[in-house]
Homo-oligomer: A and B are copies of this chain.
Amino acid sequence: MTSEADRLVARLMSGEARALARAISIVEDRQPAARDIIRAIYPRAGRAPIVGVTGPPGAGKSTLVDQLAGAYRREGLKVGIIAVDPSSAFSGGAVLGDRIRMQRHSTDDGVFIRSMATRGHFGGLAGATVDVADLMDAAGCQVLIIETVGVGQDEVDVVTVADVVLVVLVPGLGDDIQTIKAGIMEIPDIFVLNKADRDGIDRLQADVKTMLSFVESPSRPAPRIVRTIATGAPQGADGIDLLHQTIAELLKGSDPARLAVRRRERSRERVLSLLRQRVLEWAAGPGSGGAFEQLVEEVAARAVDPYTAADQLLSRFAPVKEEP
């Protein structure tokens, strides 16, 4: 490990926010130092519980996550928030709304917020997110919240590796949204019915219960349902304390095997992520000696089929061994 990476890790572990931000950038961009940094912090991380929050666009996830972070702050805990954005497919640029949001907590050094774009994670978004969670953990964050729009498969994968998964729904989002709901019915530990002061909240709760009855399984407890008004309501009526308490109960819960399974899933996801990344980097890089681009041309010209091309590439595969 270079002495520079060494110093960065030491500063990160002492809880310095700028060092954490820098380390995250290095890991996200897969710079060479990423491997050293993850190796150095890896034994120290894995302590903070991870709360995953997902749901359709318009469900008020960001506001809810802010409120939940507030509840953890009142407990005196340091909070790390990872907000996964559906970003531009071509430029990878972050979106304005998120930058504004990140400023909101900028005066509280007990909350560290990081926005991650969905684009450009060669090995998969879920693996990259878990890396960032580990960095926050090593830097002293005591609870981690990962927030993502739960529509694409990548985004759903991200939260399913959390220790507790919240799916946020709201009344009256129309038919297409109902379709998405069907798709995420089996993920959550807690359904958060947000904007509970709106018309249609009882109907929504009835719908959720009906859908749950189709996916009941004896091997897992039925998800909890908590109503919230994340934008605010008289003390207690906003449901945030109840939500906070329900999450704590599930984390302490009766089934330690459940947490172990999630932890193994996270490990699997990040090893797979690195495998994918290494193979793709090899193929598209100088390692394949230009064979990849040439085969892509031949496949495009319909002279070679994709299976034959993959076979030819893999028969040449020899990963470059990197020194520890």
Contact = CB atoms under 8 A, between A and B. Distances in A.
A229 to B, nearest CB: 17
A257 interface: no
Contact of A152 (B98, B154, B185, B292): B154
Interface in A150-190: 151-157, 160, 173-180, 182-187
Interface in A273-298: 273-276, 278-280, 283, 292, 295-297
A213 interface: no
B302 A39 contact: no
Interface residues on A, range: 35 or more
B305 A88 contact: no
Given A154-B154, A300-B267, A305 B58 contact: no
Contact of A296 (B151, B153, B268): B268
Nearest to A284: B272
A277 to B, nearest CB: 8
A272 to B, nearest CB: 6
Contacts of A297: 264, 267
Interface of A: 35, 38-39, 42-43, 45-46, 56-59, 85-91, 95-98, 118-119, 125, 127, 149, 151-157, 160, 173-180, 182-187, 215, 260, 263-264, 266-268, 270-276, 278-280, 283, 292, 295-297, 299-300, 302, 305-311, 313-315, 317, 319, 321-322, 324
